[in-house]
Structure 1
């Protein structure tokens, strides 16, 4: 049986669009009447709360209030619309080559799952993205109240796939300590550097182009399950 593959989203399947995120938050600041640089800084400082606790409107209202703003409901809604539009744009940037890789993995008989540290607007945009229909399971931090590298979020994905964590291959760029988190629950780990060389200190196996993944997995099918550090896959 082919091992299921669990993917990270940002900087793995799509670019993270970090600069555009800051630009959009600056635009939102003008809508709600606070300083753009201050709101951008507040967004960076509250990333964990935004990933697991607040939806987009809560985020705008809370952070604007902390900065001395008193936005109306209409302003909060307008500002939130900027983030929702950004989420749709980012998910829409997935390349045909990446979609072809996912299709090839499915053709190889592999189940696919996603684990993403993501805010609510990404989870909302996901069902309409070209990625969604290629995945059997999608686990978003904002929906389960947990973020990588918490071990439970990996176990949730494996459970929804109907397998043990040790039966899964995890593929990610390494942000937020996700590679070590996956290895800690027994997953086989591969680091991708296609979009960003996020975790160069990771000692396990890495590859530069997502298009190499199907062949890499097939070639490794006879190997034993990984230890927590050797990066072998099956």
Structure 2
């Protein structure tokens, strides 16, 4: 079997749309009768709970309540629908070049998995987007109750692929300490800066375009024991043995 490749989602396969998200949350605030800037701030502060605990409606209900709002069920549903619609828009904005890379990897026999620190809106919108049929395995933090860089979320993806973690290549921008988390379980790590230069302190292999991935997978592996941290041009076998920076976030 060709080597499995595990991708991050936001800022790796699609842009994060952070500014648009804040604008939509501000509109949701008007739906439920609270101050827009306050709800945006509450969304930012509650990101861990939203990643692993709350669905869209519970998020609106809890955060609006904390801000003194008492929205009706109809108002909560209307606000949650706005957030889900945003997720559908974001997941629909996949560059043709990204889809071509995924199709090329699949054609070469590489199993593909996704690990995403994502709220329930993303998981709900995922099946209708163009990425979904291209992945063999998807692991969303909101559905497994785990978030990167917890080692268990990487092991979950590898287990569902039917392989050991050290058989996998992980591709991500570096948010939430994800690169160190992947390296810690033995995965080979590629940091992508195509959409965002999120973790410039990462000392391992970097790519500027996902289009580089298929060729890199064809490179011969170098012995892990001879590559010092930050020295030379690390090949795909070497990143897991390089001492990663401490997780952030």
TM-score, shorter chain, exceeding 0.5: yes
Does 1:18 find its partner at 2:21? Answer: no
Contact 1:188–1:232 (Cα < 8 Å) also in 2? no
- Name the CA distance, whole Å, in 1 between partners of 2:23 and 2:165: 38
* Per-residue deviation, residues 151-206 of structure 1 (Å, max 9, x unmatched): 00000000000000000000000000000000000000000000000000000000
User: SS at the partner of 1:138?
Assistant: strand
Question: Which residue is 1:119 aligned to?
Answer: 119
- The separation in 2 between residues aligned to 1:200 and 1:168, in whole angstroms, is 22
SS for the counterpart of 1:203 is coil
* Structure 1 portions without partners, runs of 5+: none
Residue 75 and residue 19 in structure 1: after superposition, are their counterparts in 2 closer, same or farther (change >3 A)?
Answer: same
1:167 and 1:224 map into 2 onto residues whose CA distance is 15
Indicate yes or no: 2:204 matched with 1:201: no
> Structure 2: how far apart are the matches of 1:228 and 1:217?
21
Compute the displacement of 1:49 (Å): 0.0
Q: Indicate conservation of the 8 Å contact 2:221/2:235, yes or no.
A: no
Decide whether aligned partners of structure 1 residues 144 and 39 sit closer, same or farther in structure 2, where only a CA change above 3 A counts: same
Q: Which residue of 2 aligns with 1:152?
A: 152
Deviation at 1:211, TM superposition (A): 1.0
Distance across 1 between alignment mates of 2:228 and 2:122 = 30
Unpaired runs of 5+ in structure 2? 238-249
- CA 1:79–1:215: 2 relative to 1, 3 Å: same
Residue 60, structure 1, aligned to residue 93, structure 2 = no
Query: What do residues 100-155 of structure 1 show as CA deviations (whole Å, max 9, x unaligned)?
Result: 00000111110000000000010011111100000000000000000000000000
Supply the distance in 2 between the matched residues of 1:51 and 1:80 (Cα, whole angstroms): 15
Matches within 5 A, 1:156-195: 156-195=156-195
Q: Which residue of 1 aligns with 2:221?
A: 222
Q: How many correspondences in the alignment?
A: 233
The residue number in structure 2 matching 1:31 is: 31
Q: Secondary structure of 1:34's partner?
A: coil
> Deviations along 1:86-109, whole A, 9 cap, x unmatched?
000000001110000000011111
Q: Which residue is 2:244 aligned to?
A: none
Aligned-residue RMSD, C-alpha: 1.5
